[in-house]
Structures are given as C-alpha cells and as structure tokens.
A and B are shown apart, each in its own frame.
Chain A
Amino acid sequence: MSDRTTGRGGAPNPAGGLDPGLVARIEAHRGDVDLRLEITATPGLPVALVGPNGAGKSTTLAVLAGAHPLDAGRIALGGRVLAGDGVDLPPERRGIGLVFQDYVLFGHLTVRDNIGFAERVKRGRPAGRAAAEPWLERFGLTALADRLPAELSGGQAQRVALARALAAEPRLLLLDEPMAALDVEVRAEVRTELGELLRGLPIPTVIVTHSRADVEALGDEVIVVEAGEATQRGSVAELRAHPATPYVTRLFATPPE
C-alpha cells in the first residue's frame, strides 16, 4: 500500500524507472464464458486483446477493473496485488482507468466536471474543476468545457472519456472497443492519434477490439482470445505471418476499412 502514492504527483506524468506493469493470471466465468488467461503489459507497448464476440474479452476487462470477481489467479499492478492471494480490492481502490465502448460519460455533468470527477471525489468540486483545465487543453476540449455529453460528437466524447480516465492518474488504462462508436469517416484519424497517445503514456494499456485495423494500429503486442483462452500471442507481423487458428487467418483476410 505504501507505494500507492509514490511518484503520483499532480502532473499527468507519474512513475519513472522500471515498472513491472500488469501481471495477471485470470480465472473467471461469466455466462457461457470460462476465462483462463494470462496477460502482461508494460508502459509504451499497448496490448490488444482480439477475438470473436463472446470470447471473454470484455469479461477480462471487467475482472481487471474489479467489476467481476476473480475465481482464481492473481492480478498485480506495479508490484502491488489487486486481486488474488486473499486480496480483492474494489474498483475505486485499483487505480485502473476504464474507457467504455460508448464512453459512458456522466450525462448530467459538463465536460469539465466529467474530466474533473476523479479530483472532485478526493478534494471537492472546485479542485476538480481546476484539475480539469490542463486535460481540457491537452485534449483540445477547452472550447467544449461547458457542454453536456449529449452535445458532443463521437470523437469529442471519446476524447472526454480518455481525459476523464487519465485525469485520475491510473496505473493501467483499459479501453473497450475504442473505435466502435465512431463514425467510419473519422476512425482512421482518431486511431492514429490514439496510438500516439497510448504509446506515450507512462502506464500500461490494454485494448479490447475485434477489428483488424485497431489491432494493426494499436496492438504492439497482440493476444488472440477464443472461447476464454489465449490461442496465439505475438506481434502483428508474427500473427500475420503465422496465423495459429482459422480466426486469425480470417482476421487478416478482412479488408482494412
């Protein structure tokens, strides 16, 4: 617990040195899915979980975030155990940022208050608003600061969701199908920007997707998940060259958008 605050100042640029990142061995079940999966992730190298619908990708994110129980295994982040070994931290104590597929912004709060939410629950509303400023600027949202989420385009909402999650200074960022809710015309551009952002973050990131374009643009390491288990791991190039399952073959046979 003592390491929780070290290196986590006010700036969006924490930790330095060697971060063991995410080290997780997950056994869980939800609905028809029996999940048995090992994931490791380090800063600067986004991990893409790719697989067909119902393979357990979203369940993996839920288990990591603490929204779904771990049956067996262990989740450690930066050397600290979040779950397993008799530990089961609730979501609010895991320090994991989560960006939902459709963003799930707080509809009753302005862009500024959405982004300042994490600071607000610690130090009150004025502090939250002040803390939101640098993030508004960094994500080009200053002009939209007083809008409600319903008044944003898909791309704008995604930037708010990212800023909101990063403003909490998480030690791990999870993204669930980050491109799915965007209009097709803007996806390519947003995807490129997102890739740059994620690779520049000082924390590990895990992206769930079923799109070839996402995998190629965002996945420095790829884990193929089918029926709850990893069927192949490697770089995009390795997967493309030696697809281990029919699913992987099909994935790289689909035309890019």
Chain B
Amino acid sequence: MPAPSDPSDPADGELAGSVTVLAAASLTEVFDDLAASFEAEHPGVDVVVSVGGSGALAEQILAGAPADVFAAANETAMATVAEAGLAPEATVFATNTLELVVPAGNPGGVAGLADLGRPELAIALCDETVPCGAASVELLALAGVTAAPDTLETDVKAVLTKVLLGEADAGLVYRTDVRAADAAVVGIEIAEASQVVNRYPIAALAEAPNPDAAQAFVAFVLSAAGRAALAEAGFGVP
C-alpha cells in the first residue's frame, strides 16, 4: 500500500493525502463548498475542515495542532500565529461586514441600529473579545448607539442561533451568516456597516504535515473559482 503522500500515486500525479483546514466559524458553509470543489479537482486529497472561534483556532495552532491551513476571521488571530513564525505568508482573501438580523416576521419591529438600545427587546451580540464582537463595538460607536444586550455570545453562530430560535429579537452578525441562514431570519442592512470591514486572512502553515496540498488549497481559495464561491456566499472579495 503506497503512503498517502506518495508522489507516484497513479490516481493523482501531484497531490494526495489529507489536508486539515482550520477555519473561522463564519466560513463554515463556504469552506465546506470549497473543500468539495477542491476534492473534485484533486481526487487523491481529502480536505478536513475544522471550524471554531478564530482565537481558539490560533491557540490550537500555537499548541502544535497538526493543521495545514489557517483561515481566520480577523488579522489579530493570524498575527499571533505569524509572530510565532507558523504562518509565513498570509493573504487577505475575503472581507465581511455586519448586518442586523431579526427573526422572520421581525416580532420586535426592529428597523435600525438604534433599536439595539431598546431595553424591552432581547438583544444578542458577540462578546467584544471575539472578532464579530469587536466589529460590533466599533460599528455601534460609529453610529452613536448604546446597545442594551441581554447576552454577549462567544461566536457569531451563537448569536444567529438565538435569533433563529426567536429567543433574541435582534442581533448583529456577518451578512454572510444571514445569507447562509436563508428564510428563517431576515437581514437588515446598515449604512455605517461598510466602514467596519472584517478582513479574512488565509495562510498555509509553516509546519503543515502536507505542505504541497496546503499551498494548493490556499491557491484554490484565492483563484477565480474560489472568489466566485466566496462572493456567492456574500463575502467581499478584494
């Protein structure tokens, strides 16, 4: 039996084995799609996408997790990995902006950012220690709104879940999350949102167990096909 990365593997002249991608939670759906497309192009490769909070993922990499690619939801998380010399070449591959999200039917009658200050509504935001929360704080400051949150969640998907279940009348999430959640929730665009842009860097990791496949996957994300998929999901593409 040939080793997984045996370059003479007849099924694929170039790439084989598995490639582990650590991706920010907000990339869940689009990276699942990208992984499937990449696997279709390289039948010998098995892409494993592991999603989580960007900070937690960065910690895993620093602790020596055997990962090949890191895609973060902000540049801070990537910076901690780069400082340790583990992400030599990071490239911004997508941007994202915030959107108000309300349950279908908008029971709280939410119209704009200012409604996040209404104490009678149940408001879910990201905690400011996670990227979507930092962006939310910046956006609210920009708009001059003092929010009255009932919960500060640990990641953006948790905010979306609260709104999906109708347990929150409004929340701030990435517009891509609203797109992915479909009809169960309604997104409300905010004028100031375009000024608070989250930049998503991606890097093949220095200690990748499968460096060739790692480079190829990063290149694929940055390719025309990758950009199209990201744009389709609602990301800005630089």
Direct A–B touching, Cβ under 8 Å = no
The residues of A with any CB-CB pair to B shorter than 8 Å are: none
Binding site for A on B (CB under 8 A): none
